[in-house]
Amino acid sequence: MSNIVTVLSMMQTTQIILMLYYQYIDQPPASSEDELPEDLGVPTDPPLEELLLTQQFVDVLKSATFDGQNLDPEDIQQLHKPLQMPLDLNADLDLHLAVELFLAVGNTSQETYSTVHAALLHHHPDDNISTYEQMQQHVAELSGIVPEGNKRVPHRTFLSFPLGFQLQALWQCPESAAALKYHLQVTCKLLEWLYNDPNQPLPFLDFFFFGNDYIHAFQEGKISDDDMILMFSMDGAQLYARKQSDCWIFIWVLFDLAPGSHYKKKYVLPGGIIGGLNKPKNVDSFLFPSLYHVSVLQREGLHIWDASLDQLFTSNPFMTLATANGPGMAYLSGLVGHHGANGCRLYCGLKGRHKPGGTHYYPVLLKLLNYTVLGSDHSDISLHTSHLDLPAETSLQHYERNLHYVMNSPNEAHGLQSTKILGLPGMFGADLMHLILLNLPDLFLGLWHGTLYYEKTDNKHTWNWTILIGKTWQAHGKLVVDATHYLPGSFDWPPRNPAEKIFSGYKA
């Protein structure tokens, strides 16, 4: 534990947040097409009043300042003048011991820490071991995880963790400061290749930076050498079995790091926790404090001390992507969601079809025989040859034209500083993780096991693709359990036998 990176990797605050974020929780079986598990938490279409409220949030974000945040004066001073000294626990052995004790009893009560603290002082009265309250302050200083909120505490609260302090803490460690320069190193190599010999094949291919959007933003000066590259992500977590998502969590991921590092727990930074038990009524109001803070950093700059070079610099964080699952993305982007007539989260224009009398649209490319449902009976669509009959405009122009139509306002609804984001709606990327690891396996299991929802006019006994039945299904379940010890420990929740608990959360 010689540096802050090691401390961050063990911080209970971050671990608890990420445990909730990554954990798979039991879900009940779907009883009809309108109660599919992935639909839980999908927001209803917002009324115009709510859109106008969102526009008010946007207008405030555009002129965000440090003084407009609910931060103590000394915290604001730190954002302007960061500490210029490496964080090293070995320099204070008593603090080192207190941190280890604090982390060891992190899942127990405050009384447990106090009891062990008293026992240590009884045998070593000369030691200066911090109390529980002092350790809370030390942990905040070491990790940069500082809650933001009003001085008057209401009956119900939610937690928001300003990003700037966490970024400053990472740069105070020489090891993590050096690791955060990865994106600039790769960008320099890429631009050198583009200028010297752009017609040759890429000498290497590495993650997000090879996309046109990033390259153009860098060449146009929207991203400077000192700007950190952020990704925002939000998801709901079910804290109890067979209940809808009752807790929402959002995090920050740093694309400045190498692809093998930026999803490690010690580098994933908490943004906020929206407690339950019900889903958020207005997600924008909960995201507003964090986005306001980031908007300030984009406008006025975050002052950082680089421990690896012993020098100060100013970073204006650039927000590249905002990711979420289906329900979460509907909250973030304001689009209708995957069950709508134009449900593509990439704004591609693909129109779905629904069953006679139904309201749930599906991305069915081929028109069914004798299908005459009004509004859904368009011709077959080929993804290989068709351009989906889109308007001759960019997705951003199409998005803003539709937004203008809805709100009857010419204002752009970017929210964050428009030059410091990748652009709408392109920054709302595809959800390949849930598609490959959750949705498709769940679909295939239903196909092979014969548990899909079907209409009364269908005959389940004619399904010749249901192969996971009888002893075959039991053997498959055993193979799943036997594979547990091959999985990394960070999975947290090992897969259970799907033959015994088909609705246990088993997916991939």
pLDDT given for residue 145 in this prediction: 72
N- to C-terminal Cα distance for the chain? 35
Q: Is 331 exposed, middle or buried (CB count within 10 Å of its CB: 0-12, 13-18, 19+)? A: buried
What value does the mean pLDDT of the chain take?
A: 78
Beta strand 159-160 pairing with 302-306: unpaired
Last residue of some domain: 430, 461, 481? 430
CA–CA separation, 470 and 230 (whole Å): 49
Task: Provide the 8-state DSSP code for 111.
Answer: H
Task: Provide the 8-state DSSP code for 421.
Answer: B
Domain-located, residue 43: no
Q: Is the pLDDT of residue 298 over 50?
A: yes
pLDDT band at 411 (very low <50, low <70, confident <90, very high): very low
Q: Kindly state whether residues 172 and 315 are assigned to the same domain.
A: yes
Contact residues for 37 (Cβ-Cβ < 8 A; gap 6+): 27, 28, 30, 442
Domain-located, residue 263: yes
The tally of domains found in the chain comes to 2
Contact residues for 125 (Cβ-Cβ < 8 A; gap 6+): none
Of 322, 179, 298, 145, residue with least CA distance to 227: 298
Max Cα-Cα span within the chain: 87
- Section 256-260 average pLDDT: 93
Last residue of some domain: 430, 457, 479? 430
CB 249 within 8 A of CB 274: yes
Supply the range of the domain harboring residue 445.
431-508
Report CA-CA distances (Å) from 56 to 61, 397, 418: 9, 22, 16
Task: Provide the 8-state DSSP code for 386.
Answer: -
Q: What residue has token string 């929210």?
A: 415
Amino acid at 475: A
Q: Kindly state whether residues 187 and 268 are assigned to the same domain.
A: yes
CA–CA separation, 173 and 305 (whole Å): 10
What's the predicted TM-score (pTM) here?
A: 0.76
Q: Kindly state whether residues 190 and 235 are assigned to the same domain.
A: yes
Q: Kindly state whether residues 328 and 435 are assigned to the same domain.
A: no
Beta strand 318-324 pairing with 229-237: parallel
Of 195, 286, 279, 281, residue with least CA distance to 239: 279
Contact residues for 404 (Cβ-Cβ < 8 A; gap 6+): 410
Q: Kindly state whether residues 425 and 480 are assigned to the same domain.
A: no
Lowest-pLDDT choice from 229-243, 338-352, 408-422, 473-487: 408-422
Q: Report the length, in residues, of the chain.
A: 508
Last residue of some domain: 430, 459, 480? 430
Give the best-scoring range by mean pLDDT among 28-37, 306-315, 418-427.
306-315
- Section 291-297 average pLDDT: 94
Lowest-pLDDT choice from 43-47, 320-324, 404-408: 43-47
**Tokens read off for 293:** 């803070």
Residues of 9-28 as b/e, b for ≥16 C-beta within 10 angstroms? Answer: ebbebbbebbebbbebbebe
Q: Kindly state whether residues 425 and 475 are assigned to the same domain.
A: no
Domain-located, residue 411: no
**Tokens read off for 82:** 């960061």
Domain-located, residue 233: yes
Task: Please spell the DSSP secondary structure of 319-374, one letter per residue.
Answer: EEEEEE-HHHHHHHH-S--TTSTT--TT------B--TT----B---SPPTT---T
Q: Is 422 helix (H, G, I), strand (E, B) or coil?
A: coil
Domain-located, residue 120: yes
Give the best-scoring range by mean pLDDT among 233-242, 258-267, 404-413.
258-267
Q: Kindly state whether residues 330 and 472 are assigned to the same domain.
A: no
Domain-located, residue 313: yes
Q: Kindly state whether residues 474 and 497 are assigned to the same domain.
A: yes
Amino acid at 325: N
Domain-located, residue 365: no
Half-sphere exposure of 155 (CA within 13 A, CB side): 0
pLDDT given for residue 13 in this prediction: 36
Q: Is 413 helix (H, G, I), strand (E, B) or coil?
A: coil
pLDDT given for residue 490 in this prediction: 58
Higher pLDDT: 31 or 227? It is 227
Report CA-CA distances (Å) from 43 to 153, 239, 247, 440, 490: 28, 20, 15, 23, 31
Contact residues for 1 (Cβ-Cβ < 8 A; gap 6+): 7, 10, 89, 90, 96, 99, 100
Q: Kindly state whether residues 425 and 503 are assigned to the same domain.
A: no
Of 460, 435, 441, residue with least CA distance to 498: 441
Query: What DSSP element (H or E) covers 297?
Result: helix 283-300
Domain-located, residue 99: yes
Query: ∠ at Cα 97 (77, 128), nearest 5°?
Result: 75
Of 312, 317, 263, residue with least CA distance to 290: 317
Torsion sign across C-alpha atoms 16, 252, 439, 486: negative
CA–CA separation, 240 and 230 (whole Å): 31
**Tokens read off for 413:** 């609804």
CA–CA separation, 208 and 229 (whole Å): 10
Q: Kindly state whether residues 466 and 425 are assigned to the same domain.
A: no
Q: Kindly state whether residues 425 and 476 are assigned to the same domain.
A: no
Q: List, for residues 98-107, the tens digit of each pLDDT value.
A: 888 888 887 7
Task: Provide the 8-state DSSP code for 40.
Answer: T
Give the best-scoring range by mean pLDDT among 31-45, 106-120, 202-216, 367-381.
367-381
Beta strand 302-306 pairing with 318-324: unpaired
CA–CA separation, 123 and 507 (whole Å): 51
Amino acid at 72: D
pLDDT given for residue 415 in this prediction: 56
Q: Kindly state whether residues 328 and 436 are assigned to the same domain.
A: no
Q: Tell me the residue ranges of DSSP E strands in 206-317.
A: 229-237, 247-254, 269-274, 302-306, 311-315
Higher pLDDT: 421 or 176? It is 176
Q: Is the pLDDT of residue 246 over 80?
A: no
